[in-house]
Structure formats: structure tokens, C-alpha cells
């Protein structure tokens, strides 16, 4: 399968919104954000999100099938908002998206890339392990009130 990766600009806010809502509908347990909350966001909020993060999209024949973001905070950089359409999984899209964020973080000069994964998200944990991430020992309750599971921090050197 041929897919291409591209960087989303604030003008691509509608494509980003659609991807994010698909992700939250498909895999609610993987994310602390809630579909009902994000459905209420308007154009300005989606544009603002794209202005403060770097968000990549994977497309097949022009149609978005996956996404991942990078967010800089507290002097570090995190991989966030990772999702691949179930119809296109297990074909290397997830690994290509992770590699894209690794390259981006290196380009910015960061020595380390971190992420949070919900405990028990086996597919994501396997992907991140294969891409060189290891547990840092840090874990915390998910920020959403109804969460039972914890988020575990993984990181890799760049
Ligand atoms: C986690 C997730 C992003 C993985 O995406 P993906 O595109 O399936 O990832 P990959 O294709 O790179 O890897 C998945 C598996 O397919 C295998 N694979 C990759 N290319 C392949 C190919 N051409 N043929 C056969 N298998 C292949 C990989 O080896 C991997 O196997 P493993 O899990 O046994 O190690 C996806 O499952 C997802 O979106 N989950 C829901 C959202 C989520 O959990 N996000 C993470 C939040 S932290």
C-alpha cells in the first residue's frame, strides 16, 4: 500500500478535526479527550491547536488515514494524538508516523522524545517498543475523571 505523510497547516483544520473525531470514536480508551467535548469545538479552536503543535497526516490517494502530533512543553518534546484508521493498520503506517516525529524532534535539536500511553494499550505499546521507546518509570492517573487505568510514560533518546 502506498501512503504519503504530510504536515498539517492551520488551514487544514477541517481535515484535522475529522481525523481527531474519527480517532476518538474508534478508540475512546486510548485517549483522555472525549468525543462529545471535541465535537463541540469550532474552527478557531481547531486552528489554535494546529498553531501550537506539529501534526502530521498519512494519506492514501489523498484521503487521510492516520495522524500523529508533536508538542513541545517544559523544555521537552512529546509524541501525541497517534491514530491509524483500523482499515489501514498492520501495514507500517503507525511506524512511519512515529519515525516522522522522531525525525522532526531531531531536526529541532531535542535529545529525547517522550509520550504517554494508557496502560493495557497493547498495540500501541508494541509499536512504541519496536520504535525504540522504553518505560521511564513515570506513570500517573489519566486526567479524565472516569478513567480507571493509568498513563505510562515511555521515552527514547534521539
Ligand atoms: C497503535 C496504532 C497507531 C498502530 O498503528 P499501525 O498502523 O497498525 O502500526 P504498524 O502497522 O506500524 O504496526 C502494527 C503491527 O503491524 C505489523 N506490520 C507492519 N507492517 C506490516 C506489513 N507490511 N505486513 C504485515 N505486518 C505489518 C507490525 O510489525 C506490527 O506488529 P506487532 O504489533 O505484532 O509488533 C493503531 O493500532 C491505532 O491507531 N490504535 C488506536 C489508537 C491508539 O491506541 N493510539 C495510541 C495512543 S498512545
Asked if 110 and 77 count as a contact pair (C-beta separation under 8 A), the reply is: yes
With a threshold of 0.85, does the pTM exceed it?
A: yes
pLDDT tens per residue across span 119-145:
999 999 999 999 999 999 999 888 775
C-alpha span between 54 and 57 (Å, rounded): 10
For the chain, what's the residue count?
A: 158
For 24, residues 6+ apart whose C-beta sits below 8 A from its C-beta are 31, 33, 34, 35, 38
**126 three-state secondary structure:** helix
Q: Which atom of ligand 1 is nearest to the CA of 115?
A: 48
Residue owning grid cell 522532526: 104
Give residue 31 CA to ligand 1 midpoint distance, Å: 17
Q: Ligand 1 centroid to 118 CA: how many Å?
A: 16
**pLDDT tens column, 72-117:** 999 999 999 999 999 999 999 999 999 999 999 999 999 999 999 9
Amino acid at each position: 500500500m502506498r501512503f504519503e505523510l504530510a504536515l498539517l497547516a492551520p488551514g487544514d483544520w477541517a481535515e484535522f478535526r475529522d481525523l481527531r473525531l474519527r480517532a476518538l470514536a474508534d478508540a475512546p480508551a486510548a485517549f483522555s479527550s472525549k468525543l462529545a467535548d471535541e465535537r463541540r469545538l469550532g474552527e478557531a479552536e481547531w486552528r489554535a491547536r494546529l498553531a501550537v503543535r506539529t501534526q502530521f497526516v498519512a494519506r492514501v490517494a489523498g484521503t487521510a488515514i492516520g495522524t500523529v502530533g508533536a508538542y513541545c512543553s517544559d523544555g521537552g518534546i512529546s509524541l501525541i494524538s497517534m491514530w491509524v484508521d483500523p482499515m489501514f493498520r498492520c501495514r507500517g503506517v503507525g511506524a512511519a508516523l512515529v519515525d516522522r516525529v522522531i525525525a522532526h524532534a531531531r531536526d529541532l535539536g531535542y535529545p529525547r522524545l517522550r509520550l504517554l500511553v494508557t496502560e493495557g494499550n497493547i498495540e500501541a505499546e508494541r509499536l512504541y517498543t519496536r520504535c525504540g521507546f522504553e518505560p521511564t518509570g513515570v506513570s500517573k492517573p489519566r486526567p479524565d475523571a472516569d478513567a480507571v487505568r493509568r498513563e505510562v510514560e515511555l521515552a527514547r533518546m534521539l
